[in-house]
Amino acid sequence: MKQKLLLFDGHSIANRAFYGVPLLTNKSGQYTNAIYGFLNMMLSIMEKEKPDYLGITFDLSVPTFRHEFSADYKGNRKGMPEELRVQIPLLKKVLKAMHIHIIEKEGFEADDVLGTLAKAGEKAGMQVTVVSGDRDLFQITSDMIEIKIPRTKKTGTEIESFFAKDVVETYGVSPIAFVDVKGLMGDASDNIKGVPGIGEKTAIKLIKEYGSIENLLDQVDQITQKKLKENLMTYAQDARDSKMLATIICDVPLVYKWSDFEFDLALDSEATALFRDLELKSLLTKLPKMENEAIAEAEEVKVEQWKTTDFEKFLQESKDQMVGIAYFVEDNTLGLGVAIGERVGYSEWDLTDTEAKAVLIEFLESATYQKIVHDSKNFKHELLKVGLGLNGVCFDTFIAAYLLHPTNKSYDLAELEELFINKQSLMSLENLLGKGKSQKTWLQLEDEERINNLGKRSQLALSVTEAMKEALQEQNMTRLFYDIEMPLIDVLFDMEVEGIKVDPEGLRSYGEELQGLLDTLTTSIYEAAGESFNINSPKQLGVILFEKLGIPCAKKTKTGYSTAAEVLEALKNDYPIVAQILEYRQYAKLKSTYVDGLLNVLTEQNKIHSTFNQTITATGRLSSTEPNLQNIPVKFEMGKKIRQLFVPSSENHIFLDGDYSQIELRVLAHMSGDPTLIKAFKENIDIHALTASQVFHVPFEDVTSMQRSNAKAVNFGIVYGISAFALSEDLKISQKEAQKYIDGYFEKYPCIKAYLDEIIDFAMQNGYVETLYHRKREIPEILASNYNMREFGKRVAMNTPIQGTSADIIKIAMIRVHQKLKEHSLKSKLILTVHDELLIDAHKDEVEIVKKLLKEEMEHAADLSVPLVVDVHQGANWLAVK
């Protein structure tokens, strides 16, 4: 069997990987997407090819003989994006750590090195595969040399393979003649001129007939087309030169032996650490480890199986010590992994056994035992289902991981092991249990697998804690963690358990009203269209609007006409049917999301129990799901009606709502130190009217409602780093006028401009921004070479400290209000937060005390240079308090 040689065109594949994989960074802000994409493709191809020898070539930054021959060679190429350029040395470092041979030659291009190695491999009797995005390499193909061209598609990367026969079949010329085709047609990407007027089709035809450029030029008199003949004669030397530039040199003087290209992908500790540092964790699973490394990582945590008596003994030994916990609750069974010091135990409890339950209560509900838990809020919910509670949680690794890596998509303990202790011994829950319909329960696992995994998870929760504490301390987030995020867990848990009541009959009636409106609109739309069709089908709708009715089409996609909201919004004033369709969509959304959606999650008590997510947004804002209560529309009447359906828990209760007044602008005033803004807030001046007066140069008392409205858009837009284009879209004015508003704003509030500039500079220097409470967010986009991405990074940098600080203040307020309600043993409950407001289900006998408490605790949540002002309203439903 022939040996196989596999060669990669380093820069070419790295370039494709860079553009094919979304921009990624590790925790240090190093770009890694090209490295990840390159290695992923390389390993995938190696898995299929199973080569005996492997080599990677890279271009060097010094000029080659082609540059010396032609000063214009590749002169039109843009420089490599900075985000890619910085990854090339790292990629080489990774490849060397993987014991993969890199070969380069000064004065020559990677193609020449590839051609030389490929031909040498062929001569040595090897089957050769070259992976590159450069079709120039087709000229070196043969029965033994194959070129693989990766192509990125929506479905993933596809590989096109070309042997000599495939080149002939595709282009109609032999590989050796392929370079003649290139010589005639030129290559714009390499700034190779070719002959004007000759494209690929003509070049192939001429070379098929004459065999080579030299033969063609020798017989140019036989060309009958006047212009073609004239160009061939005029640009004959350009054709010869272009062929020379496109010809791959296959005898580059390289120094090597085939044993250099032998490889062993088993990673040693240094290579493994490098992969982890770059956060290439998914690739680590595809690579073997050196025997000693594999043994070290495979060392099993010894998990003891404890009976009740063993557990009781453990309780006596573990008082006042930190205990790592992992758990599951299924079918009246509690599986509990616990780790203390070097000991790891696992016990399984029958929750119908009252004696066993009493032992669990002593441990779980006592604050004597300092518990480390991963996602303690979820554990509290699981325990609540079986009549148990949880107290004494001193550290939640889930929350700490979020603070330290707020843009991560998940925080499985297996990921934390890699991030904080540079090991990879634990399988993620998704890999262990599966997902979707095939997901297993813990009790469906083999006993040994269940015991070992729960034991390991408890031990890992304990072992990562010290590293996480150090990281929090280093990043000055210890107070944020212990004083805000940890106490907030209990607040959110209580809110989720309490839930919020919905009027079921009112909801059904509202649904019927919406259906009536939808039916009426459907009839009108069908009449205007002249036929019935599926209004919810973008394809059918596009045909009706832009073909049958002849409405001008603003945007077309690969699958048809775009009927996106922004497209229809631009047409609605001129075409009544378009306005009706937009209205139809609004009502359909309300019915499906809020009527049908809420009815599906209503409990027997007519309550919904939303989940408040503490680890989703990068700014620190809370979000809610199942259902999402933060996006309920309030800008039009039918949307507002939904809030009317959220009602107090009983006739003896009423809603109290505390709403911060312009909290983000107040935070901006504090953080920027702008004296005009600070003075306005201290003197309780209408900030929007003041801004209108300043920007539009009119006396304060003469500001019109339109001017105030526009100034309000500018005020809040500045907080979000709004562009002139976005402001012009919001206010329906020209970009020039919008820019004038922004410039006028910064002229009157120069300290704000200086502050925002400082924030951007800080982000560019440090790669992150932080809130007043030191919550951090990394912003790799701010250093992107792509203008739009860089501008996005700047907007994030401007907005995050303000929005994040506001979110931190809201959380502090929630904790204070929740504590006061409990301290006073009140029946009133905090049940909801939406951005800047807190909603309390207040007992009617407690309204006055709760009003006072709510206002005081919210207004004293932070000590800023401007007062925090809270408006408190009461009402019989959620709409009535707004």
CA angle 794, 796, 799 (to 5 degrees): 110
Cα gap 178→246, rounded to integer Å: 10
List pLDDT tens digits, range 635-648: 778 888 999 999 99
- pLDDT tier at 438 (50, 70, 90 boundaries)? confident
pLDDT on residue 289: 52
Least confident of 4-8, 325-329, 572-576, 870-874: 572-576
Q: What's the rounded Cα separation, in Å, for the pair 200 and 202?
A: 6
Q: Which sign, positive or negative, has the C-alpha torsion 695, 700, 702, 708?
A: positive
Residues 405, 409, 415, 416: is their CA dihedral positive or negative?
positive
Q: With both helix axes pointing from N to C terminus, report the angle between 576-589 and 637-644 in degrees, rounded to the nearest 10.
A: 10
Dig out the tokens for 121 from the structure.
């491999």
Rounded distance, CA 856 to CA 724, Å?
A: 39
Give the helix, strand, coil percentages of the chain, each rounded to 5.
Answer: 55, 15, 30
Q: How far is 123 from 144, CA to CA, in rounded Å?
A: 9
User: What percent of the chain clears pLDDT 90, i.e. is strictly above it?
Assistant: 55
Alpha helices in 124-225 (DSSP H): 164-171, 175-185, 200-210, 213-218
Q: Rounded to an integer, what distance in angstroms lies between the CA atom of residue 15 and that of residue 102?
A: 17
pLDDT at 293 over 50: no
In whole angstroms, what is the distance from residue 444 CA to residue 643 CA?
A: 43
Rounded distance, CA 461 to CA 475, Å?
A: 21
Closest CA to 805 of 666, 661, 686: 666
Decide: residue 488, CB within 10 A, 0-12 exposed, 13-18 middle, 19+ buried: buried
Least confident of 346-355, 367-376, 429-438, 552-561: 552-561
**Whole-Å CA distances, 486 to 372, 378, 394, 402, 632:** 12, 14, 8, 12, 28
In the numeric block, the tokens 């069974």 are attached to: 333
Distance CA 489, CA 815 (A): 9
Span 136-154, mean pLDDT? Answer: 87
Q: Which residue has the higher pLDDT, 93 or 226?
A: 93
What is the reported pLDDT for 626? 86
Tokens 């940890």, residue located: 486
Q: What DSSP line would sit under 646-711, residue for residue?
A: EE-SSTTEEEEEEEESSHHHHHHHHHHT-HHHHHHHHTT--HHHHHHHHHHT--GGG--HHHHHHH
Domain spans of the chain? 4-171+249-261, 299-474, 504-605, 685-789
298: pLDDT strictly greater than 70: no
Identify whether the C-beta of residue 182 lies closer than 8 Å to the C-beta of residue 193. no
**Average pLDDT of span 526-542:** 93
Residue 521 has pLDDT above 90, yes or no: yes
pLDDT of 258 higher than 50: yes
CATH code of the domain occupying 299-474: 3.30.420.10
* 751 membership: H or E segment, kind and range: helix 750-766
DSSP annotation string for 510-566 = HHHHHHHHHHHHHHHHHHHHTS---TT-HHHHHHIIIIIS-PPP--EETTEE---HH
Report pLDDT digits (tens) over 4-43: 999 999 999 999 999 888 888 877 778 899 999 999 899 9
**How would residue 56 be classed by pLDDT, with cut points 50, 70 and 90?**
very high
Q: Of 665-674, 699-708, 773-782, which one has max mean pLDDT?
A: 665-674
Mapping DSSP to helix (H, G, I), strand (E, B) and coil, where does residue 303 land? strand
What DSSP line would sit under 557-571, residue for residue? ETTEE---HHHHHTT
Could you tell me if 59 and 110 are in contact, meaning their C-beta atoms sit under 8 angstroms apart?
yes
Residue type for position 568: L
Residue 205 has pLDDT above 70, yes or no: yes
Q: Is pLDDT at 858 greater than 90 in this prediction? A: yes
Counting other chains too, the contacts that 713-718 makes at CB distance below 8 Å and 24 or more residues apart are: 714/741, 714/742, 714/745, 715/665, 715/687, 715/688, 715/691, 715/745, 716/664, 716/665, 717/742, 718/668, 718/742, 718/745, 718/752, 718/756
Whether 501 has a pLDDT exceeding 90, the answer reads yes
The residue type of 216 is L
With contact defined as beta carbons under 8 Å apart, do 802 and 790 qualify? Answer: no
At residue 75 the predicted structure's pLDDT band, cuts being 50, 70 and 90, is: low
User: How far is it, in rounded angstroms, from Cα 713 to Cα 57?
Assistant: 55
pLDDT one-digit tens code per residue, 711-764: 888 888 887 778 888 888 778 888 888 888 888 888 888 999 999 999 999 998
State yes or no: pLDDT of 882 exceeds 90.
no
Q: Strand pairing partners for 147? A: 130, 162
Give the pLDDT mean for 203-224.
86
Q: How many angstroms separate the Cα of 455 from the Cα of each of 308, 327, 489, 769?
A: 17, 9, 25, 38
Q: Would you call 10 helix, strand, or coil by DSSP? A: helix
837, 621 contact by CB (below 8 A): no
What is the C-alpha to C-alpha distance for residues 339 and 298, in angstroms, rounded to an integer? 19
Which 3 state secondary structure label does DSSP give 882? coil
53: pLDDT strictly greater than 50: yes
- Greatest CA separation found in the chain? 107
What pLDDT, in 10s, does the model give residues 795-841? Answer: 999 999 999 999 999 999 999 999 999 999 999 999 999 989 999 99
**pLDDT at 619 exceeding the cut of 70:** yes
The per-residue pLDDT for 635 is 77
Q: Which pLDDT score is estimated for 244?
A: 83
From 1.20.1060.10, 1.10.357.10, 1.10.10.10, 3.20.20.70, which CATH number describes the 504-605 domain?
1.20.1060.10
| Strand partners for 843 | 653
Q: What is the mean pLDDT of the chain?
A: 89
Q: Where are the alpha helices (DSSP H) in 211-365?
A: 213-218, 226-234, 236-246, 269-277, 281-284, 291-298, 308-318, 354-364
Is the Cβ–Cβ distance between 827 and 846 less than 8 Å?
Answer: yes
Are 677 and 688 a contacting pair, CB within 8 Å? Answer: no
Tell me the whole-structure pTM to 2 decimals.
0.72
Q: How confident is the model at residue 290 (pLDDT cuts 50, 70, 90)?
A: very low
User: Of the candidates 182, 189, 164, which has an alpha carbon nearest to the alpha carbon of residue 76?
Assistant: 189
Pair 528, 604: CB distance under 8 Å: no
The pLDDT of residue 419 is above 90: no
| pLDDT beyond 60 at 600 | yes
pLDDT band at 559 (very low <50, low <70, confident <90, very high): low
Class of residue 234 by CB neighbours under 10 A (exposed 0-12, middle 13-18, buried 19+): exposed
d(CA 802, CA 788): 22
Per the DSSP assignment, residues forming a β-bridge with 778 are 768
30-44, 65-79, 439-453, 841-855: range with highest mean pLDDT? 841-855
Q: Does the pLDDT value for residue 786 go beyond 80?
A: no
The residue among 592, 391, 608, 580 whose CA lies nearest residue 495 is 608
Nearest to 660 by CA among 641, 674, 635, 681: 681
The CATH label, of 3.40.920.10, 3.30.300.30, 3.40.640.10, 1.10.150.20, for the domain at 685-789 is 1.10.150.20
**What contacts 543, CB < 8 A, 6 or more positions away?**
560, 561
Given a cut of 90, is residue 69 above it in pLDDT? no
| Predicted pLDDT of residue 297 | 47
Cβ neighbours for 664, distance < 8 A, ≥ 6 positions apart: 716, 719, 802, 803, 806, 836
Beginning with the edge strand found earlier in the chain, give each strand of the sheet holding 653-660 in spatial order. 829-834, 837-843, 653-660, 870-875
Nearest one of 262, 277, 210, 274 to 239, comparing CA atoms: 210
Q: Around Cβ 596, how many Cβ atoms within 10 Å?
A: 12
CATH number of 4-171+249-261: 3.40.50.1010
Q: Which of 551, 488, 500 is nearest to 877 (CA)?
A: 500
pLDDT of residue 294: 41
Instruction: Check residue 192 and give its pLDDT.
Output: 80
Residue 483 DSSP label = I
Query: What are the CA-CA distances from residue 264 to residues 44, 91, 260, 261 (Å)?
Result: 16, 17, 11, 10
- Do 146 and 163 touch, CB atoms closer than 8 A? yes
